[in-house]
């Protein structure tokens, strides 16, 4: 007779009784929000304006209630397209896009602890390493997100028998620094080798960029 971990042997019954263990957390979540959309789909000037208010909360026993990584309270989008008059240029179209939103949640690092680990290969020695200390889960947010894109498109052009549009697109015109995440490192005194505080630097998304291209129809 062999016993497995998690099983209980009952002498009076002479049988195995399973004692199942729940390896999953009892979690909970809820969300609420509001969406507003205004569109104009006819005429020389077209576009839409959208606003979203959204709140999401997760619950886990280790962390309690917290906002998940994708939670974004306020989001504003404005997209416009303008067909320029023929006296300016034939088949020329300008477009713009503005996106602004609240920052997403993240778990901040609030300090560090110096730990020692033993290495026995090939000789016994000790080496130190840093362990970062974190605050409550997703208790802080990245700075607000903002991006303005501008573009110009010339439509209905031909190259031999193929019809195509050419365009120039300006991405993040204001070169706003939108943080994707943060990079951390321990400050080290180069002269003494002493370790100091934790330094943080943002890892940003796209800077100001210019794209040009052609779209063909076959």
Q: Is residue 208 part of a domain?
A: yes
Q: What is the pTM of this model?
A: 0.77
The residue segments making up the domain with residue 77 are 28-106+135-178+202-217
Q: Is residue 154 part of a domain?
A: yes
Q: Is residue 101 part of a domain?
A: yes
Q: Is residue 15 part of a domain?
A: no
Q: Is residue 61 part of a domain?
A: yes
pLDDT confidence of residue 122: 66
Q: Is residue 174 part of a domain?
A: yes
10 Å CB burial of residue 59 (0-12, 13-18, 19+) is middle
How many distinct structural domains can be found in the chain?
Answer: 1
pLDDT confidence of residue 160: 79
Q: Is residue 50 part of a domain?
A: yes
Q: Is residue 119 part of a domain?
A: no
- Report the alpha-carbon angle 146-148-152, nearest 5: 165
Helices (H) and strands (E) in the chain, counts: 0, 16
Q: In sequence order, what are the beta bridge partners of 64?
A: 60
Per-residue pLDDT of the chain in tens (218 residues, 90 and over written 9): 444 444 444 444 555 555 555 567 888 999 999 999 999 999 899 999 999 999 999 999 999 999 999 999 999 999 999 998 877 777 889 999 999 999 999 999 998 888 877 776 666 677 777 788 999 999 999 999 999 999 999 887 777 778 888 899 999 999 999 999 999 988 888 787 777 888 899 999 999 999 999 888 77
């Amino acid at each position: 007779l062999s016993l497995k971990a998690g099983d209980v042997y009952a002498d009076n019954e002479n049988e195995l009784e399973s004692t199942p263990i729940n390896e999953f957390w009892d979690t909970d979540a809820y969300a609420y929000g509001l969406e507003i959309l205004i569109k104009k789909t006819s005429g020389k000037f077209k576009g839409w304006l959208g606003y979203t208010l959204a709140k999401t909360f997760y619950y886990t026993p280790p962390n309690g209630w917290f906002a998940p990584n994708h939670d974004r309270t306020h989001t504003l989008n404005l997209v416009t397209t303008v067909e320029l008059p023929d006296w300016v240029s034939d088949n020329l179209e300008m477009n713009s896009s503005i996106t602004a939103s609240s920052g997403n949640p993240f778990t901040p690092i609030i300090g560090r602890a110096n730990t020692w680990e033993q290495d026995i290969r090939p000789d016994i020695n000790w080496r130190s390493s840093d362990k970062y200390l974190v605050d409550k889960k997703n208790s802080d947010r990245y700075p607000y997100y903002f991006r303005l894109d501008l573009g110009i498109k010339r439509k209905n052009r031909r190259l031999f028998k193929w019809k195509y549009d050419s365009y120039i697109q300006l991405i993040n015109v204001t070169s706003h620094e939108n943080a994707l995440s943060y990079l951390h490192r321990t400050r080290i005194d180069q002269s003494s080798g002493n370790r100091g505080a934790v330094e943080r630097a943002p890892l940003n998304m796209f800077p100001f960029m210019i794209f040009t291209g052609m779209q063909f129809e076959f």
